[in-house]
Amino acid sequence: MAIEGTVVVEIDRCKGCGLCIEACPQHVLDFADSKVNIKGYRYVVLTSAGCTGCTNCAIVCPDRVLTIYRKKEA
């Protein structure tokens, strides 16, 4: 049974520090291409499938802007 995860980013609170990108073992997070939030920061987005919901990104986020969801695949 595999676990599939997803990451929801509070875009307007993200400061674009990139710590979550570095902490992701699946390499599925990156900065949004040429987009900024209301504060002018490049924010992080989930770029591809493959997230396992490990929560490494949420643990290192200093502003707690990431929410992780997991579901079991039958």
pLDDT, tens only, 20-62: 999 999 999 999 998 999 999 999 999 988 999 999 999 999 9
| The token pair that represents 68 in the structure block | 């992780």
User: What domains lie within the chain, and their CATH numbers?
Assistant: 2-73 (3.30.70.20)
Report how far residue 48's alpha carbon sits from residue 40's, in angstroms, rounded to the nearest whole number: 24
| pTM of the predicted structure, to 2 decimals | 0.88
Query: Exposed e or buried b for every residue in 19-28, given b needs 16+ CB within 10 A?
Result: bbbebbeeeb
